[in-house]
Structure 1
Amino acid sequence: MSFVKYLLPALAASQLAFASDSCGDTTISTQSDADALDSCTTVSGDIKIKSSFSGTLTLNGVEKISGSLTGSNCTALTGIIAPSLVTITDSFTLSEATLVTELSFSELTTVGEINWEALPALQSLTFPAGVTDAGDVIITNTGLTSLDGISLETVGKFQITDNTNLKTININNLKNATDLVNFAGNWNKLEIEFPNLATASNMTFRNISSVSMPSLEKLKGQLGFWGTEFKSFSAPNLTTTADLTFNDNSALTNISMPVLKTVKGGFVVSRNDKLADIDLPELETVTGAIDFSGTFDTLSMGALEEVDGGFNVQSTNGTFSCTTFKKMQGDGVIRGTYNCKATTPDPTTSNGKSGTSSSSTSSGTSATSSGAASSLAIPATGIAAFFFAFAQFL
């Protein structure tokens, strides 16, 4: 009797240990490997899909992965279905899965990081619950036409690049982005809407046709637009940003930032040949340089009190006048190197690059003071650094 007394707890413990082992790190080569997890509500470890897996992978019963779900070079994988999965604690990473057409996660709401690269056959997501919580989201070179199912409220990095079928992005719930937001190389008619985004860190945009950020108030880092096709940019509530750049936006006719007060860095406007009037009625402080060049008629900055870096403003237009800014220099508002030219046939940026897309002139680099336009190259990583550097050579 005493033997049974001790045997039963021992058996129970051994069964618990066995169950724990079977619900830990798992490598999936076939559907049978996945079926072995059917009784695991929680997988306490990583699930790795082997590159040899063929067909659609189904994960039944698993509600939480306390680790990562990963697959690399899975060239025969066609889809992943996980009807009960709610949480992936670490990363959801797929790369070089060229035949994947389906990602169906009915209950998924929380992911530590999404990192998808080279999924050209994937056109849509089946995430009906909506992923509302993700640390970073990096989606590169997919066939996605929208990001429906990505319903973030906050995000770290948000990098959406080289998705040439991506036509619309509406992240209705996003209120805060704590790291780089970068859009580049997607469909050139891409329309982006961030209706509730109030604060962000760094935001860079290329190859888009429109962007809406009506609630944006503050950026800790840069806000930059290069080579876009939008006609108008409006940030009605933006008061503060770091480096601010509008470069080579061929269709841009209007910039509206009526309450912008502070640029904590450099402010560049160049090669926007259809931009006729620039009005910044509340701008008071620029801690770096002002570097505007182009074909604009008017430039109004009546509230300007302090420019700590250089001041380079050049326009081809005969109606533009430097008189107001010359007085600002004399009054000590402009504290760095001063260079203002009206009716110049070949306007240039402070580093000697052409200020209009119609001009090929590139004079020698002009002198800049501390905090001048060269300070705009703030540290960035990955593809954002490439595009920022590329833009400087346009």
Structure 2
Amino acid sequence: MLSNILFLTAVGLSSFRPAQSQSTPSICDNSTLLIDSRRVLITAQECTTVAGNIVIQYASDYPAIIEFPNLESVDGSFLSINFDEDIRVTRLSAPKLTTVAADVYISRWVNLTTINMPVLTTINRVRLNHLPALTSANFLSALETIENNYEVTNTSLKEIKNDKLLYAAFVEIFDNKELEKFELTALANASYNIALRRNKPGVEVSLPALEEVFYFEFQRISSLEIPELGRVIGHFVVNDSTVESLEAPKLQNVGLWYDPSISITNNRGLLIQNSGSLKSFSFPALEAVQLDLVIRNNSELHDISFPMLKRVTGNVGLEGTFESVRFPELDRVGGIFSLGNDEAGFNCADLQGFNTNGTIRGSFSCPDYQELPTRSSSQGESKKEIEDWLNWTSPGTGFESSRSISAVVFAIGISGVLLVL
């Protein structure tokens, strides 16, 4: 009997000790786990789950590698704030972290080269900002669910790729001096914007599943893959790029909505400009453009064709050395039509039909370019201006497709759909 009692006691003690060793420190249950010293960091490294936010502040005694070896989930945000530029940390690692309920926001770690979070799949928002030495952030590829922003600014990443993420509100990729490729191959919808600005010249962009986006703006790109894009609710802009061709085979509408609270010049319509390598573009399904349609300063572009375009709400501005421009279905231009053409012998006669049949609401200029009018910055005035355009109906009959191939046609029109969000 005594031996049995001793055996059971030993078993009880053995089972008790591991449970005791698995207990987590109380700071893991804080609404904010503030890490501001190496001592606090060592304690926090025992956490498996953090009930609130992890906030890392500057400390002079941090090691070169900050690792959270046991961390699996954060019920709040994972943040860094108020870092001095001499922070020595070069690597941030959480190899078991799968979920951050709110934001991952890492900023101003100027020596950080690596963020290692290979199984992080679910967050609300990611913001990587002012991390000029960063060359690896594997969680950007692992993310499967994100409710808000996907922002990467001022890093040394060469590639940003993800084949799992279906949705993001904002996708903003700015000032990444080494970036060569940007691929979100599963992304189908961006409810606000997708924008690349001031990155390394020549970024290759692939968005093969994208169907709808609000604002769409690309700068310094060398290629753009958007085979499924059907609607751009705000504007579509390609600027200052080395892309040789643009194809949007399913794009039907640019601009179904405007926001009078935004300076109206930011609601820009369809703009393709300052891209000296561009030789061709194809928008075979495009029917309507709200606000302006502008194609300027693309020195290698000689042929323009919008075979299905019926309406442009604002102004049309074309300037270049065009040999042919074709808009066979054009019915309505809500603003002015301005065509500047340096091609010798170009004939504007056929375009006069738009002016005489009432297709163009405003003035007509060809072959000398007339600068497009500046819209009012007043919210009330800009709102009235757009609504006037929306309600205006052309008495014209459109531009026939049988016109000369050398004729240049430009116009503005808009769909009658106005979405007020």
What TM-score do you get using the length of structure 1 for normalisation? 0.80
Equivalent in 27, 34, 55 of residue 64 of structure 2: 55
Q: How many residues align?
A: 337
Q: 2 CA distance for matches of 1:301 and 1:114?
A: 43
- 2:33 aligned with 1:26, yes or no? yes
Q: Secondary structure at the match of 1:156?
A: strand
Alignment partner, residue 152 of structure 2: 139
Which has the higher Rg, Structure 1 or Structure 2? 2
User: 1: CA distance between counterparts of 2:215 and 2:107?
Assistant: 26
Aligned counterparts of 2:41 and 2:92: Cα–Cα separation in 1: 11
1:62-107 deviation per Cα after TM superposition (whole angstroms, max 9, x unaligned): 2221111111326222111112211112211111101111111121
Which stretch shifts more, 24-33 or 89-98?
Answer: 24-33
Task: Check 1:157–1:196 CA distance in 2 against 1; reply closer, same or farther (3 A cut).
Answer: same
Q: 1:39 and 1:274 mapped to 2: Cα distance? A: 61
Whether the 8 Å CA contact 1:125–1:148 is kept in 2: the answer is no
- The answer to whether 1:293 aligns with 2:306 is no
Alpha-carbon shift at residue 257 of structure 1 (Å): 0.5
Counterpart-to-counterpart distance in 2, 1:265 and 1:281: 19
Larger displacement relative to structure 2 (299-308 or 125-134): 125-134
Root mean square deviation of aligned Cα: 2.5
Identity of paired residues, percent?
25
* Cα distance in 1 for residues equivalent to 2:325 and 2:229: 24
* Equivalence for 1:236: 249
Is the 8 Å Cα contact of residues 55 and 76 (structure 1) preserved in structure 2? yes
User: 2:112, 2:46 → 1: CA distance?
Assistant: 26
Paired with 2:205 and 2:165, the residues of 1 have a C-alpha distance of 14
Q: Any idea what the Cα deviations from partners look like across 1:225-277, whole Å, max 9, x if unmatched?
A: 11111111111111101200011111111111111011011101111111100
Structure 2 gap segments, 5+ residues each = 1-23, 256-268, 375-383, 388-421
Alignment correspondent of 1:68: 77
Rounded to whole Å, the distance in 1 between the matches of 2:71 and 2:110 is 25
Q: Tell me the equivalent position of 1:350.
A: 372
Distance (whole Å) between structure 1 residues aligned to residue 25 and residue 234 of structure 2: 49
State the secondary structure of the residue aligned to 1:152. Answer: coil
Letter of the 1:189 counterpart: G
Matched to 1:350, the amino acid is L
**Amino acid corresponding to residue 372 of structure 2 in structure 1:** S
SS at match of 1:325: helix
| Contact 2:71–2:97 (8 Å) recurs in 1 | yes
Q: Conserved in 2, the CA contact under 8 Å of 1:200 and 1:218?
A: yes
Matched residue, 2:124: 112
Match of 2:170 in 1: 157
**TM-score, normalised with respect to structure 2:** 0.75
- The Cα offsets for residues 143-189 of structure 1, whole Å up to 9 and x where unpaired, read as 10111357421111111111010101111110001112111111112
In structure 2, the partner of 1:391 is none
Question: 1:275 aligned to 290, 294, 301, which one?
Answer: 301
Q: Which amino acid aligns with 2:69?
A: N
Q: Structure 1 runs of 4+ off > 6 angstroms?
A: none
Aligned to 1:189: 202
> 1:293, 1:348 within 8 Å by CA — same for their partners in 2?
no
Deviation at residue 278 of structure 1 after TM alignment: 0.2
> 1:321 Cα deviation (Å)?
2.9
Aligned to 2:225: 212
More contact order relative to length (CA 8 Å, sep ≥ 6):
2
Rounded to whole Å, the distance in 1 between the matches of 2:153 and 2:270 is 25
